[in-house]
């Protein structure tokens, strides 16, 4: 156990209870060195505790001198072996150190001082700590995974043995859930295939229906056009036949009116010759004058076309009469 330690006045050595758990450091204001005693923190008096805390809270004044002193001490101790190298504490001593460290760390003032003056690790030390922790956790994880794999293999072997059964026992169907799952998936895939095929058939059917509908519409439109053209032809033929009849009637009336006019002119001449009074021309037939005007309005080409149409109609009528007579003879 350490009885006397010479320490420098530096912030990293302020947290003495944590650094030296077997004792507490007593500081003297008149000296630049510290003395470490084996007194417990609880064994110190109140005045000693106050002096220690006050001295720890004082600011550092001789930092450069102290750093130079520490450098010289380090150079002097270079290559020397410490006196306590390879020596270990006894179990009782370790237990006592642990107990006193716990008691010192329970004091709130000491905890506050330790938190205000932390012992900062170097980057090299941090890397070493990190590497050590990684190795430790890798070992732990590998051990844990090995245990899990062993448990799984053990459970699998037990389940397989229970499934197969011993001599004279029936084999259990424990993988029925997996079989049902496979059946469900296969049925679902078949249903999807059927649905896709039905969709394709429906599309083809709809296309055929659309094509048939388009053809029917085209046929209906062509039939409508044919009927409309036939109706127009019939109307033109009827109008032409009517115009022929009217023309004939007009011509007959014109011939009659001409005959009347000739007869009237002959009578006038006779009356003139006989010395009788002349017949007043204004009393002629108004209907005759109107028909004469209508005849003048119709062109000669229209009159010829009407005559041709009339001739065709008469020929058609003769043919129909001939056919009817032939059918009647065959029936008899």
User: Any idea where the domains of the chain sit in the sequence?
Assistant: 11-120, 121-155, 198-331
Q: What is the pLDDT of residue 252?
A: 74
Other C-beta atoms closer than 10 Å to the C-beta of 103 total 15
Q: What is the pLDDT of residue 31?
A: 36
Q: What is the pLDDT of residue 35?
A: 40
Quote the pTM value. 0.24
Give the whole-angstrom CA distance, residue 28 versus residue 283.
Answer: 172
- As a whole number, mean pLDDT of residues 183-207 equals 91
| Average pLDDT of every residue of the chain | 73
Q: What is the pLDDT of residue 27?
A: 38
Angle, helices 91-105/108-116, rounded to nearest 10 degrees: 90
Q: What is the pLDDT of residue 277?
A: 44
pLDDT digits (tens, 9 = 90+) for 266-311: 766 666 565 544 444 444 556 666 666 666 666 667 777 777 777 7
Q: Would the pLDDT of 128 be above 70? A: yes
User: What residues are paired with 7 via a beta bridge?
Assistant: 34
Residues 236-241: contacts with CB under 8 Å, at least 24 apart: 237/309, 240/305, 240/306, 240/309, 241/309, 241/310, 241/313
Provide the terminal-to-terminal Cα distance of the chain, rounded to the nearest Å: 158
Query: Is the separation of the CB atoms in 52 and 26 below 8 Å?
Result: yes
> Residue 7 class from Cβ within 10 Å (0-12 exposed, 13-18 middle, 19+ buried)?
middle
Express as a percent the part of the chain with pLDDT over 70. Answer: 61
- As a whole number, mean pLDDT of residues 85-89 equals 87
Give the whole-angstrom CA distance, residue 244 versus residue 302.
Answer: 9
Distances (CA, A) of 75 to 4, 5, 13, 71, 127: 22, 19, 20, 6, 26
């Amino acid at each position: 156990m350490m009885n006397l330690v010479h320490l420098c006045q530096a912030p990293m050595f302020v947290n003495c209870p944590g650094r030296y758990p077997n004792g507490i450091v007593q500081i003297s204001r008149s000296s630049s060195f510290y003395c470490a005693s084996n007194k417990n923190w609880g064994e110190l008096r109140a005045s000693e505790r106050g002096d220690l805390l006050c001295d720890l809270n004082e600011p550092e004044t001789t930092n450069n001198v102290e750093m130079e002193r520490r450098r010289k001490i380090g150079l002097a101790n270079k290559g020397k072996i410490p006196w306590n190298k390879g020596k270990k504490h006894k179990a009782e001593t370790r237990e006592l150190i642990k107990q006193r460290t716990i008691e010192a760390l329970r004091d709130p003032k000491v905890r506050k001082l330790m938190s205000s003056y932390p012992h900062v690790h170097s980057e090299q030390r941090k890397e070493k700590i990190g590497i050590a922790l990684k190795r430790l956790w890798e070992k732990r994880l590998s051990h844990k995974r090995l245990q899990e794999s062993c448990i799984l293999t053990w459970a699998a072997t037990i389940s397989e043995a229970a499934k197969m059964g011993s001599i004279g026992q029936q084999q259990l169907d424990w993988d029925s859930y997996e079989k049902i799952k496979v059946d469900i998936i296969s049925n679902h895939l078949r249903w999807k295939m059927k649905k896709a095929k039905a969709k394709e058939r429906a599309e083809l059917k709809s296309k055929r229906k659309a094509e048939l509908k388009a053809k029917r519409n085209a046929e209906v439109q062509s039939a409508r056009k044919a009927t409309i053209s036939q109706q127009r032809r019939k109307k033109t033929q009827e109008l032409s036949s009517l115009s022929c009849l009217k023309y004939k009637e007009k011509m007959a009336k014109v011939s009659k009116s001409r005959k009347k006019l000739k007869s009237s002119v002959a009578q006038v001449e006779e009356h003139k010759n006989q010395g009788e009074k002349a017949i007043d021309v204004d009393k002629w037939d108004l209907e005759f004058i109107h028909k004469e005007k209508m005849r003048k309005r119709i062109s000669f080409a229209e009159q010829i076309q009407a005559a041709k149409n009339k001739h065709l109609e008469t020929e058609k009528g003769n043919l129909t009469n001939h056919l009817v007579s032939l059918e009647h003879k065959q029936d008899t």
